[in-house]
Structure 1
Amino acid sequence: MKKINPQIDISWKKLLMNEFEKEYFLNLKDFLLQEKSKYEIYPHSSKIFSAFNNCSFDKVKIVIIGQDPYHGVGQANGMCFSVNKGISLPPSLKNIFKEINNDLQVQMGDNGDLTNWAKQGVLLLNSILTVRKGQASSHKNKGWEKFIDEVINIISDKKNGIIFLLWGNFAQEKEKLIDKEKHYILKSAHPSPFSAHKGFFGNKHFSKANEILQKQGKEIINWKI
């Protein structure tokens, strides 16, 4: 059998090793090797599991679910909505920063690298972890969605009191995987310019999440970047 040894934090590796050895994941790995031989793939292979490497399983307090990585040059860094430092803020991230400013009166800068959130326990989880340069959703239905669904199942099953921020229809499809008796779900429109005015602006998810953390006796998130 082909073996796989992903560059992922040990706390996650222990929980997901069975998944890495399943046929669909081995097929996904073969697909990615073929893609890399022909195209430029984002993020860099060392960054594919950044969401997990910057937020170990034990640290997770909040889960934000995105779709697939940014497909522009230098943008994707392995965490949903996040871009590398020095890269212009994409429209959805601009709107996220606007809502933080409105909600918490925190002035956000132009650094879109959200590693600081991840280090505090915010799992920035895309549903698809790779993409071909310049082609959105080009790695859709290749196996990543199945893998990420299992990640959500594990969090729901093995943890308590996690806050899931589900922005837009795509993220809200994951609600069925979450045990609502044990966890908190905050839903709104997506921060994209096409939908932010339909309920993302004014959702106050950042202050609400911190209120829930406080009630649980957990340290709140400093959302300022």
Structure 2
Amino acid sequence: MISPDLGDWADLPFFDRDWPRLQAAIAVETRLILPPEDQRFAALSRCQPDATRVVILGQDPYPTPGHANGLAFSVAEGVKLPPSLKNIFREMKDDLGRAPASGDLSPWADQGVLLLNTALSVPAGVKNGHASLGWRRLTEEVMARLSDRPRAFVLWGAPAQSFRRFVTGDGHLFLESPHPSPLSAYRGFFGSRPFSRVNTWLDGRGETPVDWA
């Protein structure tokens, strides 16, 4: 059953065409699946299409139990920062001079930042374990839906950047760099200053900048 919290996202074709099959596949899993079911669509529930101003694409949820909360790169309150999020906050401090005290990024979502993973589930301990399950179609449709007016798209790493082609129309801001993972952050993520660049773009459009910290 589709969560009623999907709001205006619920009419995406994915939920009629693809979600029943994915839901059935997840239901027969004998492994622990993360994040918990009630948080699986948290990114969409928390940031509706008309409210979305910025999109940050992740890959899949953290595979460590107790970490993923349904928002890309975010962790539950009080959880030690995973390496990628630690690097995101390091870049933010270099860029803005400060970073959040907590790894819970829900305040970003409440300001119109869609924190979407390209897979919304993962078996515990198996990174990318559901990458080929069929979630990709949802990301494609979300990106297409958000083409209706200019938005900022922050695409870290090649998997996220592969979805740029689903964004049509003019006036968007695209910020592409390596992923903040320790394996790639030194190849160009550090020094990319995405947070100030997004805010400069928003300010130029007469919109309120994001209070990232």
**Normalized against structure 1, the TM-score is what?**
0.91
Residues of 2 paired with 1:42 and 1:133: CA distance? 6
The Cα of 1:42 is off from its aligned counterpart by: 0.5
Amino acid in the other structure paired with 2:159? F
State yes or no: 1:169 paired with 2:158.
Answer: yes
8 A contact 1:60–1:122 mirrored in 2:
yes
Residues of 1 paired with 2:84 and 2:66: CA distance? 17
The Cα of 1:190 is off from its aligned counterpart by: 0.9
The Cα of 1:10 is off from its aligned counterpart by: 1.3
2:59 corresponding residue in structure 1: 67
The Cα of 1:39 is off from its aligned counterpart by: 1.8
Structure 1: gaps of 5 or more residues:
none
Structure 2: gaps of 5 or more residues:
none
Secondary structure of the corresponding residue to residue 93 of structure 1: helix
8 A contact 1:7–1:49 mirrored in 2:
no
The Cα of 1:21 is off from its aligned counterpart by: 1.1
Amino acid in the other structure paired with 2:194? H
Residues of 1 paired with 2:80 and 2:161: CA distance? 27
Q: Which runs of structure 1 show a deviation greater than 6 angstroms over 4 or more consecutive aligned residues? A: none
Q: 1:6 aligns with which of 3, 9, 23?
A: 3
2:92 corresponding residue in structure 1: 100
1:91 corresponding residue in structure 2: 83
The Cα of 1:223 is off from its aligned counterpart by: 0.4
2:109 corresponding residue in structure 1: 118
Taking the TM superposition and a 5 Å limit, the aligned residue runs for 1:1-225 are 4-13=1-10, 15-16=11-12, 18-22=13-17, 24-35=18-29, 38-109=30-101, 111-156=102-147, 158=148, 160-179=149-168, 181-224=170-213
- What is the root-mean-square deviation of aligned Cα atoms in Å? 1.3
The Cα of 1:7 is off from its aligned counterpart by: 4.0
The size of the alignment, in residue pairs, is 213
The alignment-based identity, stated in percent, is: 39
The Cα of 1:19 is off from its aligned counterpart by: 2.3
The Cα of 1:179 is off from its aligned counterpart by: 2.0
Residues of 1 paired with 2:66 and 2:97: CA distance? 30
Secondary structure of the corresponding residue to residue 202 of structure 2: helix
**Normalized against structure 2, the TM-score is what?**
0.96
